[in-house]
A = this chain, B = another copy of it.
Amino acid sequence: MTSLKIDLSRLMGRIEALARVGARADGGVCRIALGDEDRQARDLVISWMRELGLSVEVDALGNVTGTREGAETGAPVMTGSHIDTVATGGLYDGNLGVLAGLEVVETLNDAGITTRHPIAVSFFTNEEGVRFQPDMMGSAVSQGSLDLEAALAARDRDGVSVGEALAEIGYAGAAEMKRARAYIELHVEQGPVLEREGVTIGAVESVQGISWTEYQIIGTSNHAGTTPLALRQDAGYVAAEIAVAARRIAKEFGGDQVATVGVIELDPGLVNVIARKARLTVDLRNTDEALLCEAEARMADAVADLAAREGVEITSKKLVRFKPVAFDLGVISLVEGAARDLGASVKRMPSGAGHDAQMFAPNCPTGMIFVPSKDGISHNVDEFTAPEEIEVGANVLLGVLLSLAEK
């Protein structure tokens, strides 16, 4: 247990300074990966890294790591996140994790502490996946779950590749991909759970697996007045039944299973015409791969039953599939311990969103620290976490990094 504390005003100063790069008129931030605002933000964060005495390396995908020497050499204990945003981004998503890492470094510098293992702060290229897919690209390549060449070849809508865009902004580096001794990331929750429960710190146990399926339903367009119910092949009705089934199945599963139908489109989409076609998507998430597979199977059964009962043709396409990721029990305990040392409330919880940390989990002990998001809002200019919550989160990060760096 350390009595060291981070300096909140210094951290908030960096958060605000970084938010001025790509600032939107409405108070938010638009800093799409590998655009000019991203370049400016990278230059700024690297200038801070250098001021703090970190040795800065840029790898071939533009991931940037600043390392603080330890008493021993070898792989560093790492923290970090990303500084790219969505088009309607806020100040905290990603940025908080990177800048809190720098604040921890400055706190150690001020206290004249040399840790046993090196400590590194990274920011990873294109976590958001707005301009180039997939998201979490930089951390995925860095940790070996995505091929470097494939990532460099990904193109935006204008045909520009990641490799070209990196060269353009001067961030096609030569450093090797960094492996970590351990990895810990501070991030805003992006959901409503901590705020609703009045808890300050989330000790993230896992990242939900994600399954996205698109269904196309082909029925028969007919007159809404003259076609008896028994003679209908109503694609719109079947779409609605699938959406209701998704919620029912998720509820029956309980736990952290969620299901979302965010897209329903009917064709022709007229008041008095039975829909001939419908398209909908089902987003299923669970932290347990076996349960997620079971939820997928239950959905498939429900859809097949509906197709048979209603006489429609339904085709499905898997759009996205990520397995759940479990974090290290030791790191989870360190997060809980660091929170309790500060007198802060803490709860174990899954992450419903994807994060750079999940790419490290197969390679080293990994964990995450969540702080509350007001009203659960993220990817939105109204994204907000209170300064006092940021302070607790950064101090938990300090405590966990110190523990990991001494192990």
B190 and A226 contacting across the interface, CB-CB below 8 Å: yes
Stretch binding the partner chain, chosen from A76-84, A116-124, A232-240: A232-240
Instruction: Return chain B residues, CB-CB under 8 Å to A208.
Output: 225
Given contacts A191-B227, A227-B376, contact A244 B237 (CB under 8 A): yes
In the complex, A97→B265 CA distance in Å? 37
Closest chain-B Cβ to A263's Cβ sits at a distance in Å of 5
Q: In this complex, what residue of B is CB-closest to A275?
A: B262
Q: CB of A222 within 8 A of chain B?
A: yes
In chain A, positions 52-94 with a C-beta closer than 8 Å to chain B are: none
Contact mask for chain A residues 175-212; partner B; CB cutoff 8 A; 1 contact, 0 none: 00000000000000111110010000000000010101
Given contacts A270-B262, A271-B319, contact A225 B251 (CB under 8 A): no
In chain A, positions 209-264 with a C-beta closer than 8 Å to chain B are: 210, 212, 222-229, 231, 234, 236-237, 239-244, 247, 250-251, 256, 258-264
Q: In this complex, what residue of B is CB-closest to A189?
A: B226
Instruction: Return chain B residues, CB-CB under 8 Å to A244.
Output: 237, 240-241, 244
Closest chain-B Cβ to A219's Cβ sits at a distance in Å of 12
Closest chain-B Cβ to A281's Cβ sits at a distance in Å of 5
In the complex, A123→B229 CA distance in Å? 32
Q: CB of A3 within 8 A of chain B?
A: no
Instruction: Return chain B residues, CB-CB under 8 Å to A228.
Output: 191-193, 256, 258
In the complex, A375→B229 CA distance in Å? 15
Report the contact-size class of chain A (Cβ under 8 Å from the partner).
35 or more
Instruction: Return chain B residues, CB-CB under 8 Å to A274.
Output: 260, 262
In the complex, A262→B237 CA distance in Å? 9
Closest chain-B Cβ to A127's Cβ sits at a distance in Å of 15
Closest chain-B Cβ to A106's Cβ sits at a distance in Å of 31
Instruction: Return chain B residues, CB-CB under 8 Å to A234.
Output: 247, 260
In chain A, positions 266-286 with a C-beta closer than 8 Å to chain B are: 266, 268-275, 281, 283, 285
Q: CB of A353 within 8 A of chain B?
A: yes
Given contacts A231-B376, A271-B319, contact A224 B258 (CB under 8 A): yes
Q: CB of A24 within 8 A of chain B?
A: no
In the complex, A189→B227 CA distance in Å? 10
B250 and A229 contacting across the interface, CB-CB below 8 Å: yes
A269 and B263 contacting across the interface, CB-CB below 8 Å: yes
Instruction: Return chain B residues, CB-CB under 8 Å to A271.
Output: 212, 260, 262-263, 281, 283, 319-320
Given contacts A237-B243, A240-B240, contact A227 B262 (CB under 8 A): no
In the complex, A320→B212 CA distance in Å? 38
In the complex, A234→B189 CA distance in Å? 20
Closest chain-B Cβ to A307's Cβ sits at a distance in Å of 16
A258 and B319 contacting across the interface, CB-CB below 8 Å: no
Given contacts A191-B223, A272-B283, contact A229 B258 (CB under 8 A): yes
Apart from A237-B243, A260-B274, A263-B269, what 16 extra A-B contacts exist at CB < 8 Å? A190-B223, A190-B226, A192-B226, A192-B227, A222-B376, A224-B258, A224-B285, A225-B283, A229-B251, A236-B260, A240-B261, A260-B271, A262-B270, A264-B264, A264-B265, A265-B269
List 4 tightest A-B contacts by C-beta distance, closest first: A191-B226, A225-B352, A226-B352, A240-B243
13 residue pairs A–B, Cβ–Cβ below 8 Å? A191-B222, A192-B228, A192-B231, A224-B258, A224-B352, A225-B283, A225-B353, A229-B247, A229-B250, A236-B261, A236-B262, A237-B247, A240-B243
